[in-house]
Amino acid sequence: MKKSLLALAAMGAFAGVAHAQSSVTLYGIIDEGFNINTNAGGKHLYNLSSGVLQGSRWGLRGAEDLGGGLKAIFVLESGFDVNNGKSGQGGLLFGRQAYVGLNSAQFGSVTLGRQYDSVVDYVGPLEVGDQWGGYIAAHPGDIDNFNNAYRTNNTVKFTSANYAGLTFGGTYSFGGAAGDFSHNQIWSLGAGYNNGPLSLGLGYLNARTPAASGGLFNNGGTAAAANAAVTSTVYSGFTSANTYQVIGAGGAYTFGAATFGITYSNIRFANLGSTYALAAYKGQSATFNNAEVNFKYQLTPALLVGAAYDYTRGVSINGGSRAQYHQGAVGVDYFLSKRTDVYITGVYQHALGDTLNAAGETVAATANINNLTPSSNQNQFTARVGIRHKF
């Protein structure tokens, strides 16, 4: 009897140790607010919208200590719309992130699942859309994916440990198409440096057949369960490309309470397909260049103000038509507590030149602030008053 009791006590002790070495955390963000769009297809639009400053979400994050500096890790993260309760990312249950893997304190982590690419990880945080501006202040159409419009499925990802401020990594996504290794294939590389007042980021993204079912622009889902292909008028005419490529870089420097930042991206839609009128342009390419300067100032520990200017220039096929987009953003963010803040953001965009529409026709470029209904003319302004709570 005594031996049995001792055995049970020992088992209980070991179970307690195992439990102490494992953790699962529930977390989330609720972001809601009121928007004004001065030109939504030619009309004013007043509405509530969810997840502008940061996407509304809930998630589970877990880790198990395996000993020797090695951990098993996982993340399951679901986006949702506060206004109607629907799942985000085209209705996917864990559309934001879903992965499992191993983490070494000495070398870094290897994870598998639905994840962010290296451009998002290393350059995205330096763009104003990932800071105080939200997705309405992202680059037109989020054309370079700095604001994480698109995730990657079927992805193997390596993220290094932090070496005196330097981190680096890469991803590879299997297309999953029998007999065609490159179909829907996505890969990326990146590096970042964050030490003291200086932050730097560099990233590269390459996606094959991005608008195909299961491709990057479809968020890696199916027609029934994922976002439709790109509808932004900024580049909807180029999504038949066989390859979508982004080269991005950025930096920021902090002087006391002030931070100055800059980003640059080169976006290439290579080997256009033969859909619609694009048959005449089959095999050709289109290139966009984007540059942003941004500034933020911490007036008090609770109050931040910011301003940014972004310029996008597109050179369409044959080097003929050119579209330009000038965009300015201002914002104020006030923290009521560590977890709750209220904010105001305003964005104005002006378009020039001409571009291709989704049917491959040359049309006048129109303003289209990211993730909003396109304007009927060259100008568009939006303003938002919102509240964000983190848990």
Cα separation, 348 vs 367, whole angstroms:
9
Residues contacting 320, CB < 8 A, separation 6+: none
pTM of the complete model: 0.90
The tokens of 267 are what?
């976006």
CATH topology of domain 23-390: Porin (2.40.160)
Mean pLDDT of the chain: 90
pLDDT value for 277 = 66
Residues paired with residue 373 on neighbouring β-strands, in sequence order: none
Q: How many CB atoms lie within 10 A of CB 255?
A: 9
Cα–Cα distance, 124 to 145 (Å, whole number)? 8
What is the separation of C-alpha 3 from the centre of its chain, rounded to a whole number of angstroms? 58
- Give me the pLDDT at residue 178, please: 74
Which stretch of 129-143, 264-278, 288-302 has the lowest confidence by average pLDDT?
A: 264-278
Note the pLDDT of residue 281.
78
Domain boundaries, the chain: 23-390
Distances (CA, A) of 38 to 207, 327, 383: 35, 15, 9
| pLDDT (tens digit per residue) in 93-117 | 999 999 999 999 999 999 999 999 9
Q: Using alpha carbons only, give the angle 279, 282, 286 rounded to the nearest 5 degrees.
A: 120
**Residue 3: predicted pLDDT:** 42
Residues 6+ positions from 213 with CB-CB distance below 8 Å: 222, 223
Cα separation, 115 vs 138, whole angstroms: 20
- For 30-76, write each residue's pLDDT tens digit: 999 999 999 999 999 999 999 999 999 999 999 999 999 999 999 99
What is the DSSP-derived secondary structure letter of residue 67?
E
pLDDT digits (tens, 9 = 90+) for 313-325: 997 666 556 899 9
**Model confidence at 224, in pLDDT bands (50, 70, 90)?**
very low
DSSP state at residue 242: S
Q: Which residues of 364-379 are buried (b: 16+ CB within 10 A; e: fewer)?
A: ebbbbbbbbbbbeebe
